[in-house]
Amino acid sequence: MVEIAKQKGIWDKAYDSLKTAEVPEDLNAELDNNPEAAEFFNSLNSVNRYAIIYRLQVSRNPEIRTKRLAGFIEMLIQKKKIHN
């Protein structure tokens, strides 16, 4: 399966797992500009941090990603999380 996915070019488009996910550059830049959001993001458990990262990674186009990113920053400023 992995080899087939690599041959079809879809392997590189797969999202990161919880263990390997890193904060994307655009999210990191927004967190740098919003210390309150950054502080809350850093306090989240790994499941809630990954929920944000995953949703950004699977955005179908740049417009959706930008909209989601803005929503996540606002959510973090309000100290809200995806999973309670």
What would the pLDDT profile of 12-70 be if each residue is shown by its tens digit? 556 778 888 899 999 999 999 999 999 999 999 999 999 999 999 999 999 999 999 99
Q: Give the integer Cα–Cα distance in Å for 34 and 42.
A: 12
Q: Give the integer Cα–Cα distance in Å for 22 and 39.
A: 17
Q: Where are the domains of the chain?
A: 16-77
| Residues listed for the chain | 84
Taking the CA atoms of 79, 52, 55 and 69 in sequence, report the sign of the dihedral they define.
positive
Q: In the predicted model, what is the mean pLDDT of residues 3-10?
A: 67
